[in-house]
Amino acid sequence: MKKLIVMLLAIALLLTALAGCSKPADDTGSTINEITLSESWNFESFAPLTLEASNHGIMYYTRNFYETLVSYDNGKIVPGLAETWEVSEDGLVYTFHLREDVKFTDGEPFNSEAVKKNLELIPINLGIYNGYFGTVTTLFDKIVPVDTHTVEVHLTRPYYAALNDFSMEMVLAMVSPNAYNEDGSYKDTLKTATLGTGPYVYQGDTDGTTYTFVKNSEYWGEEPQIDRFYVKVIHDNDARQLALRNGEVDIFVGARQMSYNSFSELKKAGYGSLISDGSSKTQYLAFNVEKSPFDDLNVRRAASHAIDKASICKSVLGGLATEANSLFPPNLPYCDVEPVTYEYNRKKAIKLLEDAGWFDTDGDGIREKDGIQLKGELVYETDDTVMEDLALVLCAQLKEVGMDIKPNGMEVAACFNEYEKGNYSIGRTFTYGGVWDPHTTITNANPGQGNDVLNRASTLIDNAGELIEALNVTVDKEKIKETYEFILCEISDKALLVPLYYTNELVVYNKDKIQDYSFEGELGYIYVPLIKVK
């Protein structure tokens, strides 16, 4: 009897394994290629223009559903929905020649009138945020359809990074004209469906925890290999790692989805793994220069010397990230400068603090000055898998020189709210990355542009607002280079920020099901057509 039970169990396990390896078929009997991804948040909207911090996660998937006039691919601007384009000598007119074989997923033709409607309504929908997601949306003078598949975009002034902005799926993706209400606002349709021109479409298929996306049968471009994909919502990071190991999830794309140590463990366990050659964005700390103790230059410089970035890259990041010494990698346009760097040096950090009058008089390990302790909070987003460990290490390194900085992690929306109010001593954040860097990050460093941590820190840069405004109205490359050099050197000279590391993006996948993945476009964003299955 025992032998019979064992044999039946073995057969059951074998059948389960075979079922797991088999692929489903459609009504015609053809094989369906499908994969499952995972996120820690729900999709609350499928509009490419999503302003609420809690909804920003859609931007990692936008390219699958929506497309732009031009595209960004590893630092280069390449054709998108426009096959070719010209720019007038004065930089004021961009003429786009559109593809003629494109339709939106609701059947509406993509043409110059559709471009006109989108470009005229995007700034209106952005409202007070117009300019935060690329400067070009603030410069539209008029949009002129020349013929069905040619459109001119007239700007009020030249802008050196206009084409980069035109390639941003968030917020300059093209949506069907039917997606807009009469007043120009988005219809509620975009909460449960996509109305773009991309290779995939969403039509409201979800049970609340898993979302189903299917191939766009009318897609104009190369047909993707994946017929449909699922995104399973798993809030806990450890649970998501387990889901990959037990086959519920097939692939993770982006360093935000796993710690560097988890990546190394999964690689050792036999999973497919990839590391991007280039970096996607810079992770950095920004001091709140408006309140004690980091309104003191010596304290900021001391903190910069107290942080051992090399050790962090080795221990917390598993040697898979590159130590940063400037806000941007030097290979980015206008960023090949040599700012002051702060090497790890505890003795120098302590001397700077003592020179500024900070001493530990009672032996509790925390320095004081005029009866006030040298303490504060490091505020960061818990959405990032690496931050819990990183925050502890950063606070421990600062504690070694007598700074009592407590880690305070919170959800994205709450974190942004604290940054806006200035309720932090140190904020951990990152540059926009990819197509957004360096120009959008620098534009939004303008003290008059917003209230994030970089913006507040830049108030100590001499004439920052005027410099950035002037930068955005010139096409003189030498002038642009001089401005970048000045701003980046000011950031270092005044120790406004601590660049930590340049993010190398990571991919881990189940090799039994997936053959390969390619890094193209925005390195940390998920583009399902790049996934090749077996």
How distant, in Å, are the alpha carbons of 126, 201, 426 from that of 496?
30, 44, 10
Distance CA 311, CA 307 (A): 9
Residue 124 pLDDT more than 60? yes
The residue that leads in pLDDT, 36 or 474, is: 36
Buried b / exposed e along 295-328 (16+ C-beta atoms within 10 A): ebbbbbbbbbbbbbbeebbeebbbebbbbbbbbb
Residue 478 pLDDT more than 70? yes
Contact assessment for residue 320 and residue 258, using Cβ atoms and an 8 Å cutoff:
no
Q: Tell me the average pLDDT across 469-481.
A: 90
Distance CA 138, CA 393 (A): 41
Q: What is the pLDDT of residue 129?
A: 86
Residue 3 pLDDT more than 60? no
CA of residue 51 relative to chain centroid, distance:
14
Say which residue the tokens 């449960």 belong to: 192
Which CATH number describes the domain made up of 279-504? Answer: 3.10.105.10
**Class (C level, CATH) for 67-179:** alpha beta
Nearest-CA neighbor of 272 among 446, 510, 63, 499?
510
Q: Dihedral sign, CA of 522, 528, 529, 532?
A: positive
Instruction: Work out the pLDDT band at 139, boundaries 50, 70, 90.
Output: very high
Fold matches, 29-48+188-276+505-533 and 279-504? no
Residue 12 pLDDT more than 60? no
Helix (H, G, I), strand (E, B), or coil: what is residue 135? helix
The model carries a pTM of: 0.84
Report pLDDT digits (tens) over 386-440: 888 999 999 999 999 999 999 999 988 899 899 999 999 999 999 988 888 999 9
Report pLDDT digits (tens) over 142-191: 999 999 999 999 999 999 999 999 999 988 999 999 999 999 999 999 99
**Helix axis angle, 260-268 to 237-245, nearest 10°:** 20
Q: What is the pLDDT of residue 34?
A: 96
Report pLDDT digits (tens) over 67-97: 999 999 878 899 999 999 999 999 999 999 9
Distance CA 428, CA 411 (A): 13
Contact assessment for residue 230 and residue 38, using Cβ atoms and an 8 Å cutoff:
no
| Residues contacting 378, CB < 8 A, separation 6+ | 285, 391, 394, 395, 405, 406, 407, 408, 424, 425, 426, 427, 428
Q: What is the pLDDT of residue 526?
A: 94
Q: Tell me the average pLDDT across 218-232.
A: 96
* Domains of the chain by residue range: 29-48+188-276+505-533, 67-179, 279-504
Q: What is the pLDDT of residue 450?
A: 65
Instruction: Work out the pLDDT band at 207, boundaries 50, 70, 90.
Output: very high
Distance CA 221, CA 227 (A): 15
Report pLDDT digits (tens) over 243-257: 999 999 999 999 888
Contact assessment for residue 506 and residue 258, using Cβ atoms and an 8 Å cutoff:
yes
Q: What is the mean pLDDT of the chain?
A: 90
Tokens for 73? 């691919």
Distance CA 375, CA 359 (A): 13
- CATH 3.40.190.10 correct for 29-48+188-276+505-533: yes
Q: What is the pLDDT of residue 23?
A: 64
Contact assessment for residue 281 and residue 469, using Cβ atoms and an 8 Å cutoff:
no
How distant, in Å, are the alpha carbons of 414, 417, 443 from that of 421?
11, 6, 21
Beta-carbon neighbour count of residue 331 at 10 Å? Answer: 11
Beta-carbon neighbour count of residue 512 at 10 Å? Answer: 13
Q: Tell me the average pLDDT across 200-204.
A: 96
Instruction: Work out the pLDDT band at 8, boundaries 50, 70, 90.
Output: very low
Q: What is the pLDDT of residue 388?
A: 87
**Helix axis angle, 346-355 to 297-306, nearest 10°:** 160
Residue 495 pLDDT more than 90? yes
Q: What is the pLDDT of residue 29?
A: 61
Cα separation of the two ends of the chain:
41
Q: Which of 96-100, 294-298, 335-339 has the lowest mean pLDDT?
A: 335-339
| Residues contacting 66, CB < 8 A, separation 6+ | 48, 169, 173, 174, 175, 194, 196, 197, 198
Report pLDDT digits (tens) over 17-72: 444 444 666 655 668 899 999 998 888 889 888 666 556 678 899 999 999 999 99
Residue 465 pLDDT more than 80? yes
Tokens for 230? 């699922």
